[in-house]
Chains A and B, each alone.
Chain A
Amino acid sequence: MKKNLIILFLLIIFPFKAFALIEVDITRGNLNPLPLAVSPLSIDDKSKTSFKKILKKENIGSEISIIVENNLRTSGLFNPLSKDAFLQAPDIANLKPRFEDWNLIKAQALITGKVTYVNEKLRVEFRLWDILAAKEMMALAFTTVPSNWRRVGHIISDKVYERLTGEKGYFDTRIIYVAEEGPKTQRKKRLAIMDQDGANNKFLTLGNELVLTPRFNPASQMVTYLSYFKNLPRVYLLDIETGTQEVVGDFPGMTFAPRFSPDGKKIIMSFAKDGKSDIYTMDLENRLVEKITNHPSIDTSPSYSPNGKYIAFNSDRSGYQQIYIMKSDGSDVRRISFGNGIYGTPVWSPRGDLIAFTKLHKGNFYIGVMRTDGKGERLLTENYYQEAPSWSPNGRVLIFYRETKTNAKGEGFSAKLWSIDLTGYNERLVETQTDASDPSWSSLLSN
């Protein structure tokens, strides 16, 4: 028995010693933007002439590659290299890149492609190459009407982003916002929509009535917003694809911040009545209204979790405004924000892991995120006045609006859209034709 034990012991110990492989744990890396090269998409002369007639663009291949390049750069995760450094012509690179040449300029990935005019349609094929591994990572082709060329650029960006980062992109999306014009006391507010990069801006309302808080349906291209009609707030539904608009209902008292449920079948909002405000849902199919909270405090800004099981909202039930979460039936209410200051406008991330919020502390406004249990609060940006964060569909970037301080004469006021990613370092101004507020990010147009 003793001998057996010793043999067993030796058998266990010795092989391990003999074949022990040296292991090194790599737990850190760099978060620097990945250097990549976006080669202009090659195009033959015949197609070039055709597209020039239709789209008034000299070289549609280059234009698409510029869109891809800009998208990837604004994400903050990629560093597109200057085209001046490229050693290989686009048409040859698309066939078979000389990896040594691209390695020489320190590119780790390469995007090549080809544009052709086929049956009055735009056909784009593109390839993503891993320069260091000297292999193709992805190859796709799209055919669409020529006027859709910008979207092709966005779709390519999304595919590249997804392949290299492991999460879906957010470039083939739109942003709806309130376009503002005129002096601060007499603002003309219109509903407007644009691509996420600011192109294709369109005004959806005329500006005769005040519009507020437009919110995209996460499941479709439907929008809900508030508009004042005869000084009474109304909740509207607007289908972006068809342009049809309908009134969801007139509600007693003040109504705030309607927002869709994740499946798009309900709207959740708050009504103010008798000095208190509660949260209600309305089923869009049968228009039945259900009261979710019943508390003598002011409960507003409800936002569903992506699985629809929980609701985040803000309430002053503890004495001053804080963020709470509850089950979707209104039970199990828990406060999650405990930091200094006032918290508001909680918005649940589409990934489900974080809640974005606006915080007011010592006269400054912050946009921040916290985990759904309230821990890990991170303030991403601070300013004089900013609020209304809205998530990109991949839960990586937040868009919000920021107002500037007026001077003593009441001049200098402006409201602009800004975006910031979760690192807090990549803050960018989103260009709009007019002043802008209350942005809402759509889901991906193509999936």
Chain B
Amino acid sequence: MNRLHKTLLGGLMILAALFLPAHAEKKPRIVADLSTHTVAVKTDFAGTRVMLFGALVGSDEEGKKRPDIIVVVRGPSLPFKLHRKKRVAVIWVNADERAFRAAPGYYALLSSGLLENIAPAARLRSHGIGFEALQDHLLAAADGFKSIEEAREYARGFVRLMKKKGLYRVNDNGVTMTGRYLFRAQFDLPANVPLGEYEADVYLWREGKLLGKYSSPLNIEKRGFERFVYEFAHKQGLLYGIAAVIIAMAAGFAAAAVFRKS
């Protein structure tokens, strides 16, 4: 995203905000866009940063309390299996295996301030925002658990593991307001980010009330050589295996030949 592009986009949004009919009592709406809608995962992919730009439109914000903005980025829904270790004699063993049928493969929670200052925790949770709501979602998709308490422990463990991998992240400083109408947010996609369809949801709050929501899709996919290798491996397993062996043997013969001379 270059600076010119950024400026243009911001300028357009201000224009849009200015020309739209502004009724005094109307609730503001959000328009937003991502710096990119497709992230191509290529050989040198080491993670990337995506920007989200947005504006409040449809209301006169002068003299009103500043709104709060929460951005939730969700990755594709995937099944997860977890083990919990237990001590058997002297060694630690994967004793139990439990599954969550569906959980987002990526989850970023960005906000323009501390969540507790934006709205009561219960209200955020009922709108499906935040890690408590995520845990509810996990519990609803839990498989093979003996008790709800056990499922809760696994859900907590799961979120901890995902945070450690950088796939679940929180940033209460992640949304910045510029003036009264414009805002931007940024989130990092680490290199191990799962591929698929993503969605960035922008929530607009004022004085603890949800005023509006805006969604923007994001697609993360393999491109070029990576895509070719991936598809070859999955569609033509035998040929791929033979190719892998031939490459390996060629490398072995080549090295032997090179070293014979010296």
- Do these two chains really belong together in a complex? no
Q: Which residues of A contact B (CB under 8 A)?
A: none
